[in-house]
């Protein structure tokens, strides 16, 4: 079974631009979460989706948005990019909505560099 796929793997943008990152979960998984990883702030939770519904949102400005499609694929969008948005963006998927009987798998991440 294929793992979590994130595209693109690397991305370079300039300040003020917007960007869309894509995540394809493992087949049969209906839950997708997103995280931002930076050297200064570490790993921070962005969003959690299940069956196209956003269940949780992290403490990020409104420039960060996301959505999930009916096939469970997810996208996140960052508008008006700032230098501080440079980070590794990680996507994770699971079958259900919690860890009691379920395991979450992470993708390799998208490395975003903002110049």
Binding region for other proteins (CB under 8 A): 4, 31, 33, 35, 42-45, 48, 55-56, 58, 90, 92, 94, 97-100, 103-109
- What are the phi and psi torsion angles at 85 (to 5°)? -80, -5
Across-strand partners of 94? 31
CB of residue 64 to other proteins, shortest distance in Å: 15
* Residue 81 beta carbon to other proteins: minimum distance, rounded to whole angstroms: 22
Tell me if 15 sits within 8 A of 85, measured CB to CB: no
Q: Quick one: 81 or 110, whose CB is closer to other proteins?
A: 110
Question: Distance from CA of residue 36 to its chain's centroid?
Answer: 8
Residues contacting residue 108 through CB under 8 Å, at least 6 positions apart: 4, 6, 9
Across-strand partners of 66?
Answer: 76
Looking at the Cβ atoms of 60 and 79, the one nearer to other proteins is 60
Nearer to other proteins, 7 or 56 (CB): 56
Name which of 75 and 79 has its Cβ closer to other proteins: 75
State the DSSP H helix or E strand holding residue 5, giving kind and residue range, or none if neither: strand 5-7
């Amino acid at each position: 079974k294929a793992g979590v796929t994130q595209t693109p793997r690397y991305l370079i943008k300039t300040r003020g631009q917007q960007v869309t990152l894509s995540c394809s979960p493992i087949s049969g998984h209906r839950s997708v979460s997103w995280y931002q990883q930076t050297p200064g702030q570490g790993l921070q939770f962005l969003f959690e989706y299940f069956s196209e519904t956003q269940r949780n949102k992290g403490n990020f400005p409104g420039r960060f948005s996301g959505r999930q499609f009916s096939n469970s694929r997810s996208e996140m969008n960052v508008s008006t990019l700032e230098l501080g948005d440079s980070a590794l963006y990680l996507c994770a998927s699971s079958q259900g909505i919690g860890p009691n009987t379920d395991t979450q798998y992470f993708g390799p991440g998208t490395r975003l560099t903002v110049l």
